[in-house]
Amino acid sequence: MKTISKIRYSRRTMLKAGGAAVAASALPAPMVWGQETRDITLRQFGTGVSNLNEVAQKVREDLGFTLEMTALDSDSVTQRAATQPDSFDIADIEYWICKKIWPTGNLQAMDTSKIANYDRIVGIFRDGKLTPESVIAQGTAPHTVGFVDGPGGTSFAGEETGWMTLIPTIYNADTLGIRPDLIDRPINNWHELLNAEFRGKASILDISSIGIMDMAMVCESLGEITYGDKGNMTREEIDRTIEIFTDAKKAGQFRAFWKTFDESVNLMASGEVVIQSMWSPAITAVRARGIPCVYQPLEEGYRSWGGGIGLSASLSGMELDAAYDYINWYLSGWVGGFLMRQGYYSAVPETSKLFMSENEWGYWFEGKPATDTITSPFGDPLAEAGAVRDGGSFFDRMGAVACWNAVMDENQYMVRKWNEFIAA
C-alpha cells in the first residue's frame, strides 16, 4: 500500500539516485507522466453500491494508477467525510450527504471545463430538469447542492456556475420491493407497507434520513398527512409521521429494520419479509438467487437518490490531475454500462450505451421487453427473454420522482424522534 506522501519521498530518492539532485532542486521540472502514474494511489470511499472492485481493476488497466476502495454504510460515509478529511482522496457520496459535508470544507469544487462530458450529463444534475417540462421534486434535488460560486465557494449556487461539488455517478428511483409469490394481489400504493395484512412481514430501513422519506411517502399515501415539503418537514409533521409508525411498530407490523444492503437482501430472500423499502440492486440480488422479487412501481411515485464523487480538499498537483482523469474516465461509459446493467442509471447514459448490448440498453434504459436473457455484470441471470423492467423506461421512472433523499432543517430533531421510534 503506497500512500501519496511515500511516493513523494520515493520520487526524491529516485532522482537523487539518478544523480539529478542538483538539477531537480534548481529547476523543478514537470514529472514524467508514464512512470509517475504507476505510483499514484487514490483512496476512494463510499457506499457499497458503487465501490466495486471491478471498477478499481479497470482503472488499473485503463489509467494505470491504483484506486483503493472502501465501502461503508451511509452513516459511516458521512462521518468519515466530515471528520477524517485526510483519510481519502475521493469521496463517493450522496447529494444529501454533500449538503451536510460541504460546509466542513473537506471537499473542493471541480472545474467543469476539465470535464469532457459535462454537457452530456443528464439535466437532473445541472438545471434540475429531466426534460424541459419536468417539475422538480421535493427534497434535496441534486442540482440544488451541485454547484458553488467558485473554487473556494462555501455556499451552494442556484444555477450552473462551472464549479461542481460532486460529479454525478449513479442515481436511481427507489420504491418498495415485494415478494410476488407471497403476496397474491397487486400492490399499487405506498400505504400497503402498513397494511395489517402484512403484519410481522414488513420492514423499513433504519437510516433515519432515508427512512423518514419512505415514511412520508406512506403517510401521504394513507391520506393522514399532507406535507408542505417531504424533504424539509416541520416539527409537527415529523411528530405525526413518527407517531403513525410507532403505533404500527407496537402493533407488530415490522419484522425487522435493516441498515445495510445485505440485510435487506437476506430479509427478502429468506421470506422473513414480503414488503419493504429496498434498493434496486438488492432486488437484483434476490432475483439472482432464483427468488421472485419485484421493484413495485407505485402510484405516488418514487423516492429518488443520486450519488457523485467529490474531491478531497487536500488533493493537489499530480494526484488532482489523476483524479480529473479518473472522473473523465468514469463518465466515458465503461462504469456507466457496468452500473446500468445492475439497474442503476449513469450520469451520461449516451456513453454507457456504447458498453451495453442492444438488448441490455433496451431492457434497462428504454423499458423494452428483453429479447434474450438479461444477465448481471457478474454473470447471474436476472430476467428471461420477454421480461420488462419494473417501472418501465428511464423517463417513466426518473420522470415519476416524488421526492429526493434529503437533509432537513430540523434534522437533529428528526434524528432524536427517529431514535425514539427505534427504541419504542
Partner 1 sequence: MTDQAMPPTAAPEPGAIPVHGDRARHLSGWLLAAPLASVLAVFLVLPVVMIVIVSFWGATEFSIYPDFRWDNYEFLLTSEVTYRVFLNTFKYAAITWAFTLVIGFTIAYFLAFHIRTLGWQVALFLLCTIPFWTSNIIRMISWIPFLGRNGLANSTLVSWGVVDEPLEWLLFSDFSVILAFVHLYTLFMVVPIFNTMMRIDRSLLEAASDAGASGWQTLWHIVIPLTKPGIMIGTIFVVTLVMGDFITVRFMSGSQSANVGRLISNDIGLLQYPSASATAVVLLVTVLMVIGILLRFVDIRKEL
Q: What type of residue is 4?
A: I
Of 16-75, binders to partner 1 (CB under 8 A) are: 75
> What residues contact residue 382 under an 8 Å CB cut-off, 6+ apart?
284, 287, 288, 374, 375, 376
Q: What type of residue is 224?
A: E
Figure out which of the listed residues 108, 140, 208, 296 binds partner 1, where binding follows CB under 8 A.
Answer: 208
Q: How far is the CB of 383 from partner 1 (least distance, A)?
A: 25
Is there binding between residue 410 and partner 1 (CB under 8 A)?
no
Is there binding between residue 175 and partner 1 (CB under 8 A)?
no
Nine cell digits for residue 138: 421535493
β 110-111/163-164 pair status: antiparallel
Is there binding between residue 419 and partner 1 (CB under 8 A)?
yes
Figure out which of the listed residues 3, 53, 270, 316 binds partner 1, where binding follows CB under 8 A.
Answer: 270
Figure out which of the listed residues 149, 243, 272, 300 binds partner 1, where binding follows CB under 8 A.
Answer: 272
Figure out which of the listed residues 249, 314, 321, 368 binds partner 1, where binding follows CB under 8 A.
Answer: 249
Is there binding between residue 292 and partner 1 (CB under 8 A)?
no
Of 18 and 105, nearer to partner 1 (C-beta) is 105
Q: How far is the CB of 272 from partner 1 (least distance, A)?
A: 5
Q: How far is CA 133 from the centre of its chain?
A: 25
Is there binding between residue 287 and partner 1 (CB under 8 A)?
no
Q: How far is the CB of 288 from partner 1 (least distance, A)?
A: 18
Of 69-88, binders to partner 1 (CB under 8 A) are: 75-76, 78-79, 82-83
Figure out which of the listed residues 116, 259, 393, 396 binds partner 1, where binding follows CB under 8 A.
Answer: 259
Is there binding between residue 407 and partner 1 (CB under 8 A)?
yes
**CA 96 – CA 50 distance, rounded (Å):** 16
Q: How far is the CB of 75 from partner 1 (least distance, A)?
A: 3
Residues engaged in binding partner 1 (CB under 8 A): 75-76, 78-79, 82-83, 100-101, 103-104, 200, 203, 206, 208, 249, 254-259, 266-267, 270-272, 407, 411-412, 415-416, 419-420, 422-424
